[in-house]
Structure 1
Amino acid sequence: MNDIILSHKRWQQIFDVQLIIALIITVLELITKKQRNFGNIFQLVFLILIVGLNFYVQFNRHNSSKLNFEITRWLNLLVFSSYFTIIWLVVGNYLIFNFRQFEILWVLLLWAAYLVLLLPLAILYAGDLRKWFLMLLAVYFLDQQYGPDVSLRISRNLRFLHSVTGQGVIAALALLIIACFLGKAWGCHFNPNLKFIKSRNFQISTFILLLAFATLDLFYNAFSVTDKQILTAFFYFSSDIQAKYFTLPSLTSAIEPGILEETERYLMILIFLTGFKYARKWRLPIAVYASGILFGLSHAGNVGWNGETFSATIAQVIGVMGSGFLWAVLYLYTGKLWLPMLYHFLMDYLANLQSGWNSAGWTFSGYASDYIQEILMVGVPLVFTIWMMYGKRRAVIEENVDRLLNLKDSKFINKKVSRN
């Protein structure tokens, strides 16, 4: 594997230090507990075995079997993606609780640590994967870091620090950093935001139309309201923005999915493009529509979130797929990840300003107009993105895909496509 910023040996040394620190803190935590149960002891024994396996494989890397390494790889990704963050939380809460006078300093240091906490793990054990389904599984494990950070016990009087941490913004930024490094490890562009190079196939009219359509999709999702009247699915819009919802949590709870979920989808796009990089006819539609479907399915866990019903969650899963298709094409046509991040943020923020950040994310009454609205939310973006798959529009996207994948032999580069 190519060296990513640091040498492979250096990343391994950092990871080994993390293992030892995690083991020491686990032992200390067990010693200081007044009551010890079987679960605590089993956790320690299991951790010792995994750490031992890691060092065994390292010290016998020339003689160790490939099977041993693969077992170690997947155990590390499965266990330490979450366990390192739990150790971070234990240390963080201890420092904040016992040395409250330095709370701001601790939080800033903890932020810095969290941003790079899983980098060694990601680079060492996910960076050399080349099969797309294994890459997808590794990213799923690495994405489990979201959660422990919101339990850091920051004083509520530190409103900014509390909101940024409690709403998961730091975890979102951490995943974005991991995405950059993993992209580089997989042979792709380090920065997901490509430098704009005006292609012969680039059309300003297409660019404006794409932005206009993304904006229309944004406002339809944010302000479209339905009732028993079928025509409301097409023509009825209502804005209920309220001053009381202009709060810091409303802002940060929209920033988090804008970064986190678009980074997740960027990784999916990258994985599918990498996995099918030489299947030029199919790699683009696979990346756009598979990532959009997975983006929709990722919302399936919202059942019960602040009262969201099962039927509303199913509607949300289906409805957001359309935006997923559209934002994928928006990214690949422009080469700018911050654009879909911005649209995603605005969509969530407008929802927060109308109902509050801690309200159900979706409603579904079962009217005929609700079903029509779902069809429009998915069907219209689907038709538009299919249109983007042809002619000069497709050529510009393929150029960006080749640049993203660091392919130098693109048949599209510097060639003008005359078809519309």
Structure 2
Amino acid sequence: MEPSKNIKRCCLLQVMILVGIQVINLFTRPAKFAMGIVSIIILGAYLAGEYLSLPETIRKVNTIVQILFQPFAFSYTAGTLLTLVTPFKFAPLVAFCILIWYAVSFLLYVQQFIAPITNNWLRLFWLIYFFQIAISPSAYFGIIASTNPWFGAFFSTGLIGAVAYTISLIRAMQAWHFGDLISLIKSHSKGNVLVDSVFAILVVLFIYSNLMNTTSWGKLSFLRFWRLLLGAMEAGIGEEVLCRFGILTLLLSFAKKLRLRIPIAIICSSLLFGLFHFLNLTEQSLPLTIYQFCFTAVSGIFFSLLFLYSGHLELVVFIHFVMDLLSYSATGNSSLSGNITLGDYQSVINLAVLMLALLVWMMFGKKRQVMENHVDLLVSKGNIKK
């Protein structure tokens, strides 16, 4: 699928503006000279590919470079803009507009470079790789905060990155002709009282498991709670869009012809969900991270079943958000602390047995048919070239 001329023209205009911003950055922030030069090289390579007659091999290499590094240049440019406007009195209003722009800035990039990808393995690689860039723009912005600590908290969390990733991934899935979330919501049949009750009980169980050290809640300042709230929203939106909508859908497409496609895709996506939390090793110890891997992998089974049965990703996002907010508020931090005991692992093992039992139970009768119908909506139109 070749992008239209209008899309290319819009991309060219956007990239030329970004280059101009980085040129200004070179003169105003000498300490960030190297980062500015890298961004200009990446964006300049794109302009060269569009305006110059380059050999086919170089054009292909340039396309790969743009797929991998153009999102980084976009993130760093947004950070540059935020830094440039911070000293001015109108900074909050302008910064808010920049954050909105950041949320939609990747759409042209997706349309031109990501939509034409037909190999599902490459698609899977991209959505995981792009998540790491888009979800945490503050890492590339190089910004501490603004003069307003409440607004500055927006810069130190990945919430706006999670929104940007969600918008981009939804557009990519549409371009790849996979099912959309609205179709799932509209297709849901009348709920089964028993199944709904089981899920409701399990939601309460998961929420209860995150209610630890409740006596520390009163020690949180309003600003600290605001930061934790933003962090929980980031995790709820970003992780569920990535793991339940993106990865789970692609894995279901891989296993489309297998009779056990649903349990295979659920278990594999849940393991990936758990593995992603090893990135937290920079903030917490290895034993705590291993425990977090076990818990999140097990909870991933529940989230996947709830999504495929209900057809409501927003429901799963909300539950994930509430769980994390309660956990963060109870400990006062988004990372784990303390020591892991044998009892903690026993609880995870019990939960794993319960989730596997739920997975087996959901594979029979009308429950399975409801999920099969939703899976068909997600993957039946997808291009499954491998």
The unaligned stretches of length 5 or more in structure 1 are 224-237, 409-420
The answer to whether structure 1 residue 318 and structure 2 residue 309 are counterparts is: no
Partner of 1:294: 272
Query: Does the CA-based 8 Å contact 2:117-2:123 persist in structure 1?
Result: yes
Deviation track 1:286-317 (CA, whole Å, cap 9, x = no partner) reads: 32122111110110011141xx2111111111
Deviation track 1:368-393 (CA, whole Å, cap 9, x = no partner) reads: 32331232233321221232122221
Deviation at 1:111, TM superposition (A): 1.7
Give the SS at the match of 1:242. Answer: helix
Partner of 1:15: 11
Deviation track 1:59-98 (CA, whole Å, cap 9, x = no partner) reads: 67xxx74x5554333211211111111011112210222x
The unaligned stretches of length 5 or more in structure 2 are none
2:349 to 353, 367, 375: 375
How has the CA–CA distance of structure 1 residues 183 and 204 changed in structure 2, closer, same or farther, with 3 Å as cutoff? farther
Query: Does the CA-based 8 Å contact 1:193-1:337 persist in structure 2?
Result: no
Identity of aligned residues (%): 23
2-structure distance, mates of 1:185, 1:346: 32
1:395 to 354, 369, 373: 369
Greater Rg by CA: 1
Residue identity opposite 1:204 in structure 2 = V
Structure with bigger helix share is: 2
1:25 to 9, 21, 41: 21
Query: Does the CA-based 8 Å contact 1:255-1:345 persist in structure 2?
Result: yes
The answer to whether structure 1 residue 361 and structure 2 residue 357 are counterparts is: no
2:239 to 258, 261, 265: 261
TM-score (norm 2): 0.86
Partner of 1:235: none
Query: Does the CA-based 8 Å contact 1:249-1:357 persist in structure 2?
Result: no
Query: Does the CA-based 8 Å contact 1:333-1:397 persist in structure 2?
Result: yes
> Which is further off, 146-155 or 209-218?
146-155
How has the CA–CA distance of structure 1 residues 43 and 221 changed in structure 2, closer, same or farther, with 3 Å as cutoff? closer
Aligned residues: 375
TM-score (norm 1): 0.80
Deviation at 1:361, TM superposition (A): 2.1
2-structure distance, mates of 1:198, 1:302: 36
Query: Does the CA-based 8 Å contact 2:179-2:381 persist in structure 1?
Result: no
How has the CA–CA distance of structure 1 residues 399 and 69 changed in structure 2, closer, same or farther, with 3 Å as cutoff? farther
Residue identity opposite 1:26 in structure 2 = Q
Query: Does the CA-based 8 Å contact 2:102-2:164 persist in structure 1?
Result: yes
1:163 to 150, 153, 156: 153
Query: Does the CA-based 8 Å contact 2:162-2:237 persist in structure 1?
Result: yes
Partner of 1:78: 68
C-alpha root-mean-square deviation of aligned residues, in Å? 2.9
Residue identity opposite 1:352 in structure 2 = Y
Residue identity opposite 2:242 in structure 1 = E
Partner of 1:243: 218
Give the SS at the match of 2:235. Answer: helix
Give the SS at the match of 2:86. Answer: helix
Query: Does the CA-based 8 Å contact 1:132-1:271 persist in structure 2?
Result: yes
Partner of 1:384: 358
1-structure distance, mates of 2:246, 2:136: 19
